[in-house]
């Protein structure tokens, strides 16, 4: 299956406009590789037919399938571990001191298959210990792809996927399903609210501001304008003194945001 | 007029008389000259007048001069003494022996008076000398009478000196205490003392005025105002101070201006600057330091520049490779996906084969059984053939009997015919019967013959059939053997197909795992491609930021930043720009349709 430049540009523009994912011409292979089986299943002869189907589909199924397939969902437990150490040693003690209503609001934006919010939840569980009873520490974890959210909700991982998890966590927060698979325990699963959310939506529907936002290695797929707009919306919905975590390869320019640099890829709102 | 004359000195009176007489004589000569008509005569009259005047003067002076000579000597001596005294030789007296009489008495008195005065002066001067040595307490005897004025004068002087001393002391103290605005009060003093004190005050003013201006300039300097200069017109040391301070401020101003200009340039990113003018003393350290800083910045920024170029180029390569890797991995993933589909196809075919092989196996077994059964039947058939053979030979025997019977019947019929012929008419019917019997016998013999031939043919055929049946039995045996072999093979095939199916299922599992890994790799490499691209753009940003600095080149000359970038990097940048353009060209925003919203609505506590 091949995609013509025109077809690719059409599709890339559609994807970028609706989901913010910026696909350069180098990504032709990616688009073909990830979408060709949809075309085969639906018996489309070419990408033009597929595009017509996509834009005329009144149910959201075509879009959902597109999103499920076009997004890159790379994640693993303890990814960019420095962040979790900082979160545990600096952020949580600060929040414990300052959040008076004991309602912790942490958002894992672009949670993929759930490794990040589960890691955060386990850290929170360890940190608060028995005091957690008094706290509402539920984490909001969103992604645009239904496919990964499904996996995340199930919370089952191959053993090789949890190799990086500390043994104590494996004991406390995981249970064996079979000789290859391990599942997150309900106590942790219940601490994460998985929802589908498109980050490029101009209006965030959240009731209250967040203490911490993790949006790591998500904006690397966006173009600059989309990225800057998103950072602006993040800032607007961050509590004063709240934190934004981004991927280690990313950085925020001082010109475009009021977030202040703390450590690499960690920023903070003043106040 | 006459009172003046009375009061006038003798010499003046004499002079006046002389002038009066001279006037009279000149007047007379003029009057006489008017009486004469001719010029020559007039001139001679005038000359005569003047001559007359001179003669009269001479006579008068002779008469008067004698008593004056002594007086003149006295005056001369007095003058001499006065001069000597004036020039400091106060021991000089008028020599008393040069005068007689009244003059001598006068001289003696004058000498005594002078002596007294000198002695009084010496005493007074001793005190003054003491004053001069700084002893304001030196005592002075009280002089009698009007001489007491000296006491008064000395005491006044003493008082004045003490007051001046006290006033100066006060000023000194004030100066010591830094009260530079303190001045002496001249109203307590009169005359030159007042002038002195005023002078002192103006001296202080003269000293302080430049100091105050200098101080004001220094104050401004302290406030950072480098525009102020000492403007006053001073002389000597003050002028030197003024020039020195003004030079200092000018130097400071120039230096600071230059440093400031350099720093401003630097702040605007121009590092191709330096302090070029001559700095003296400690300023040279400043110049050296600043130039050193600039040099350091230059070399640092050069390094950063090089490094950022390297990083930009390097990270571009990394992201290109990552992109290639990602494409590869994605391609791999879709290939694996296709491979999985193919394998599934193969797997189902193999299953089918196994199934068919199993079916073939059982069919072959059935066939084998059938073949064995066929063989048995064939044996039975052979036996039946033998029986048929036997029956045929029995039939042949019977037919031989029938043939013999027919032969005999024929003979009998012949005999009967003969007998019938003999019987004539009566035998005629019998002859017909005999004929009929004979016919029947012939037909029987024919039938027997035919039957014999048939039986023989049958026997031959049975023989042939037996042979065929024997061959068939052999073939069937062979078939049974073959079918047994086929059964074994088919069995083997079935077993192999099953193994194959399970093998393929294992392969499938393996491929599934590979597929998962490849999918993960694809995601990983896509992510690293995106991440490295992010890094590239940041490296590019860094490069741009550093490129804003105007630097000295290694030889100290300015160069344009773009000249320094390697052509490869430039090409990349160009390419990047082009791609951006292409993208922009092919993506008119308005034509892009909007997808259906896919967000969840309820976010729990969020």
| Beta-carbon count within 10 A of B509 CB | 10
Model confidence pLDDT, tens digit, residues B10-22: 667 767 777 777 7
Tell me which chain B residues have a C-beta less than 8 angstroms from the C-beta of A25.
Answer: 579, 582-583
Q: Rounded to the nearest 10 degrees, how much is the dihedral formed by the CA atoms of B383, B388, B393, B397? A: 130
> Residue B427 to residues A32, B294, B416, B433: CA-CA distances in angstroms?
120, 173, 9, 10
Digit-coded pLDDT (tens) for A57-91: 888 889 999 999 988 888 889 888 999 999 999 99
Q: CB–CB of B258/B291 below 8 Å?
A: no
Tell me which residue of A104, A106, A108, A82 sits closest to A95, measured CA to CA: A104
DSSP B150-203: HHHHHHHHHHHHHHHHHHHHHHHHHHHTT-TT----GGG--HHHHHHHHHHHHH
Structure tokens given for B413: 């019929």
Least confident span in A171-180, A203-212, B111-120:
B111-120
Which residues from B are below 8 Å from A193, CB to CB?
603-606
% of chain B residues with pLDDT over 70:
86
DSSP state of A4: -
Q: Between B196 and B53, where is the model more confident?
A: B196
pLDDT attached to residue B460: 84
Q: Who contacts B562 (Cβ-Cβ below 8 Å, separation ≥6)?
A: B547, B570
Q: How many whole angstroms separate alpha carbon A110 and alpha carbon A219?
A: 9
Cβ contact A196–B535 (<8 Å)? no
Segment B277-292 shows an average pLDDT of: 87
The second-level CATH assignment, the architecture, of A81-156+184-268 is 3-Layer(aba) Sandwich (3.40)
Chain B interface includes A61 (CB < 8 A): no
Residue B559, pLDDT score: 43
What residues pair up with A193 in beta bridges, in sequence order? Answer: A140
**A151 contacts chain B (CB < 8 A):** no
Domain with CATH 1.10.155 in chain A: 5-70
Report how many helices (DSSP H) and strands (DSSP E) chain A contains, helices first: 11, 10
Measure in Å the smallest separation between the Cα of A264 and chain B Cα atoms: 13
Are A144 and B598 inside 8 Å of each other by CB?
Answer: yes
Cα B147 from Cα A195, distance rounded (Å): 129
User: Is A29 touching B (CB cutoff 8 A)?
Assistant: yes
Residue position matching structure tokens 């004929």: B435
| Residue B527 to residue A217, Cβ atoms within 8 A | yes
Interface test with A, best of B598, B600, B605 (most A CBs within 10 A): B598
Beta bridge partners of A103: A136
**Preferred mutation among B519, B530, B590 to probe A, highest tally of A CBs within 10 A:** B530
Q: Is there a contact between B323 and A26 if contact means CB atoms under 8 Å apart? A: yes
- Number of CB atoms found within 10 A of residue A37's CB: 15
Chain A residues whose beta carbon lies within 8 Å of the beta carbon of residue B595: 14, 18-19, 55, 60, 63
Chain A contacts of B337, Cβ < 8 Å? 37
What is the CATH class of A5-70?
Answer: mainly alpha
Boundaries of CATH 3.40.50.150 in chain A?
A: 81-156+184-268
User: B64-69: long-range contacts at Cβ-Cβ below 8 A with a sequence spacing of 24 or more?
Assistant: B64/B14
CB burial of residue B442 (10 Å; 0-12, 13-18, 19+)? middle
pLDDT per position as a tens digit, A12-57 = 999 999 999 999 888 888 898 889 889 988 999 999 999 999 999 8
Token code pair at residue A141: 């974890």
The answer to whether the Cβ–Cβ distance between B600 and A36 falls below 8 Å is no
Bridge-based pairing of strands A260-263 and A266-268 is: antiparallel
Instruction: Please say whether the beta carbons of B543 and B326 come within 8 A.
Output: no
Task: Name the residue among B327, B526, B541 with its Cβ closest to that of A72.
Answer: B526
B585 pLDDT band, cuts 50/70/90, is: very low
pLDDT above 80: residue B271: yes
> Does the ipTM exceed 0.90?
no
Which residue among B330, B522, B535 sits closest to A249, beta carbon to beta carbon?
A: B535
- CB distance B230 to B218 below 8 Å: no
**A14 touches B at CB < 8 Å:** yes
Interchain pair A138, B520: CB under 8 A: no
Count of residues for chain A?
Answer: 271
Domains of chain B: 301-591 (1.10.287.950)
């Amino acid at each position: 299956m091949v995609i013509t430049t025109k077809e690719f540009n059409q599709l890339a523009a559609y994807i970028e406009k609706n989901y913010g994912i910026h696909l350069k011409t180098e990504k032709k292979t990616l688009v073909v590789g990830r979408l060709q089986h949809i075309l085969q299943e639906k018996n489309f002869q070419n990408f033009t037919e597929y595009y017509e189907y996509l834009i005329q589909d009144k149910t959201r199924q075509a879009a959902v399938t597109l999103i499920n397939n076009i997004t890159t969902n790379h994640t693993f437990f303890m990814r960019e571990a420095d962040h979790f150490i900082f979160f545990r040693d600096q952020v949580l003690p600060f929040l414990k001191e300052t959040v008076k209503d004991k309602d912790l609001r942490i958002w894992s934006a672009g949670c993929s298959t759930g490794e990040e919010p589960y890691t955060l939840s386990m850290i929170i569980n360890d940190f608060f210990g028995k005091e957690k009873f008094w706290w509402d520490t539920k984490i909001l974890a969103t992604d645009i792809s239904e496919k990964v959210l499904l996996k995340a909700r199930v919370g089952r991982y191959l053993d090789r996927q949890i190799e990086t998890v500390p043994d104590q966590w494996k004991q406390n927060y995981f249970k064996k399903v079979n000789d290859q698979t391990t599942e997150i325990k309900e106590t942790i699963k219940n601490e994460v609210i998985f929802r589908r959310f498109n980050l490029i939506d101009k209006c965030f529907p959240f009731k209250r501001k967040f203490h911490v936002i993790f949006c790591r290695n998500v904006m690397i797929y966006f173009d600059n304008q989309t990225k800057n707009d998103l950072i602006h919306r993040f800032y607007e919905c961050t509590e004063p003194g709240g934190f934004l975590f981004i991927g280690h390869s990313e950085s925020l320019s001082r010109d475009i945001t009021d977030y202040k640099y703390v450590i690499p890829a960690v920023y903070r709102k003043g106040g | 007029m006459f009172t003046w004359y009375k009061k006038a000195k003798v010499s003046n009176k004499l002079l006046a008389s002389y002038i009066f007489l001279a006037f009279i004589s000149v007047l007379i000569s003029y009057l006489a000259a008017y009486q004469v008509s001719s010029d020559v005569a007039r001139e001679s009259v005038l000359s005569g007048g003047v001559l007359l005047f001179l003669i009269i003067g001479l006579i008068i002076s002779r008469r008067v001069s004698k008593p004056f000579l002594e007086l003149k000597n006295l005056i001369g001596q007095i003058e001499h003494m006065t001069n000597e005294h004036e020039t400091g030789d106060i021991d000089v007296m008028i020599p008393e022996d040069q005068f007689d009489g009244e003059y001598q008495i006068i001289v003696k008195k004058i000498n005594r008076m002078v002596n007294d005065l000198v002695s009084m002066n010496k005493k007074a001067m001793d005190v003054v000398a003491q004053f001069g040595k700084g002893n304001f307490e030196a005592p002075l005897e009280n002089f009698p009478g009007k001489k007491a004025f000296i006491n008064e004068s000395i005491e006044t002087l003493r008082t004045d000196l003490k007051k001046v001393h006290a006033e100066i002391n006060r000023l000194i103290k004030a100066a010591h205490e830094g009260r530079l605005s303190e001045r002496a009060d001249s109203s307590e003093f009169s005359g030159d003392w007042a002038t002195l004190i005023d002078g002192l005050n103006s001296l202080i003013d003269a000293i302080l005025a430049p100091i105050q201006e200098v101080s004001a300039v220094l104050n401004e300097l302290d406030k950072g105002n480098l525009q102020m200069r000492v403007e006053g017109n001073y002389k000597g040391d003050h002028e030197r101070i003024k020039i020195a301070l003004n030079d200092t401020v000018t130097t400071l101003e120039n230096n600071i201006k230059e440093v400031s200009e350099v720093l401003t340039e630097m702040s605007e990113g121009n590092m191709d600057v330096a302090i070029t003018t001559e700095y003296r003393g400690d300023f040279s350290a400043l110049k050296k330091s600043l130039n050193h800083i600039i040099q350091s910045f230059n070399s640092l920024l050069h390094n950063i520049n090089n490094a950022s170029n390297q990083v930009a180029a390097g990270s571009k390569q990394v992201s290109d490779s990552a992109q290639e890797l990602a494409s590869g991995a994605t391609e791999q993933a879709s290939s694996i996906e296709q491979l999985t589909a193919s394998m599934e196809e193969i797997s189902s075919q193999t299953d089918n084969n196994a199934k068919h092989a199993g079916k073939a196996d059982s069919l072959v077994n059935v066939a084998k059984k059938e073949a064995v059964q066929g063989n048995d039947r064939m044996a039975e058939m052979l036996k039946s053939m033998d029986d048929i053979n036997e029956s045929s030979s029995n039939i042949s025997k019977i037919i031989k009997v029938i043939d013999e019977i027919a032969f005999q019947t024929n003979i009998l019929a012949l005999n009967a015919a003969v007998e019938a012929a003999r019987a004539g008419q009566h035998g005629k019917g019998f002859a017909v019967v005999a004929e009929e019997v004979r016919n029947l016998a012939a037909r029987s013999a024919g039938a027997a013959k035919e039957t014999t031939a048939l039986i023989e043919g049958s026997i031959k055929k049975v023989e042939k059939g037996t042979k065929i049946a024997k061959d068939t039995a052999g073939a069937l045996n062979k078939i049974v053997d073959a079918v047994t072999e086929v059964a074994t093979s088919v069995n083997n095939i079935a077993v192999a197909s099953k193994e194959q199916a399970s093998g393929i299922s294992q392969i499938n599992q393996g491929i599934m795992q590979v597929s998962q890994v490849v999918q993960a790799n694809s995601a990983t490499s896509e992510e690293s491609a995106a991440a490295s691209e992010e890094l590239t753009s940041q490296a590019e940003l860094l490069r741009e930021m550093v490129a804003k600095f105007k630097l000295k080149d290694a030889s100290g000359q300015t160069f344009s930043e773009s000249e320094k970038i390697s052509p490869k990097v430039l090409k990349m940048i160009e390419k990047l720009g082009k791609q951006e353009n292409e993208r922009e060209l092919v993506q008119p925003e308005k034509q892009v349709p909007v997808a259906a919203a896919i967000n969840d609505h309820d976010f729990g506590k969020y």
